[in-house]
Amino acid sequence: MLGKIGYDASWLSSIPWKAIHYALLFLMIEIVTFAYGVMVFILLYQTYIPTVKLERELDLVFDTKCNVRTGCPNVCSFPTANFSVSESGISLLTPKYPYMLMLNLWLPDSIHNRNAGMSIITLELYGREHVLIQRFRKPFSMPYRSSEVRMISNILFAPLYIIGRMKEELLLSIEMSSSFQFDATQPVLEGRIIMESKRYLWSALELKIQTTLSGFQNVLYYYPQVSFIICISVVSFLMNMIYISSILLYILWRFLKKSRNPELSKVKDEPKPENYPLCGEIDSEDNSFSD
């Protein structure tokens, strides 16, 4: 039909269709290999990396109904903050990993806080059915700064104080535990923080839960791009080695099969002449000679 309309289709026969077929097959195999490498990386990251860091900004609450006014006005009970480290009843922390528990408490640099003295802050961790798993208690106090240091600091940072970029407060970091671990049978689901003092004024409270990684976990978590490239390269190398080994084994099997039956293959491949007599014709000729 193309020849009738004057279209030259001879160039189609010169295209190496077999080479294109093998190239497309190779491209499809490499795409499948890449997708498999991505799946392996995601599965490895989800199963091998624990919850490394967890931060919670907490609000301390207290009772305001009391008869005797002691400490801060209207603070009639120890300030308390509840928090959760679970989703749908499943703990966000990984069992048998050492976690560092840190409290960051911001205290205004006021005369009231400087005269509040020492106090105790408590961290309680609970499991299922509100069962107490661990309790940590640490003392704290307002960091001491002399009047000269406060005066120099106020002069240097006065512009930032005026425009609101900085606040006249001090950060107090309290390490509640350096290596807290729990078992999978008693997962940590929630907790509570109690400041055992009614005299302190505070502006913010933050809980930090963090673990330390080592070896391949460290590279996998802090350098995910490098880990992704390494994982894809290793998976591609292994899969390509499997493909090449399979092809070589198939070729070897064909070669051994052909070498075992050389005569059969020759007879099978040998062409027959046009005037080759059939079996019935040969029998008839033999009978005629015998007569």
CATH number at residue 63: 2.60.120
What DSSP character marks residue 157? Answer: T
Residues 40 and 101 in one domain: no
- Position 287 in a domain: no
Q: In this structure, are residues 209 and 193 in contact, taking their beta carbons and an 8 Å threshold?
A: no
In 3D space, the residue among 172, 171, 179 whose CA is nearest the CA of residue 210 turns out to be: 179
Confidence band, pLDDT 50/70/90 cuts, at residue 250: confident
When the pLDDT of each residue in the chain is averaged and rounded to a whole number, the result is 82
Domain contains 284: no
Q: Output the pLDDT for position 138.
A: 95
Q: Are residue 63 and residue 156 in the same domain, yes or no?
A: yes
Q: Are residues 233 and 243 in the same domain?
A: yes
pLDDT single digits (tens) 70-103 = 556 678 889 999 999 998 888 999 888 899 999 9
Q: Span 51-57, mean pLDDT?
A: 90
Residue 273 falls inside a structural domain? no
Encode pLDDT of 259-279 as tens digits.
776 555 554 555 555 555 555
Where a domain ends, among 177, 212, 247?
212
Are residues 65 and 198 part of one domain?
yes
What angle do helix axes 224-260 and 262-269 make, rounded to 10 degrees? 80
Q: Is residue 93 part of a domain?
A: yes
pLDDT at position 68? 61
- Tell me which residue range forms the domain holding 183: 52-212
Nearest alpha carbon to residue 172 among 136, 210, 121, 211: 121
Count how many domains the chain has: 2
Same-domain pairing of 73 and 162: yes
Domain for residue 207, yes or no? Answer: yes
Note the pLDDT of residue 2.
47
Judge whether 24 lies within some domain: no
Residue 235 forms part of a structural domain: yes
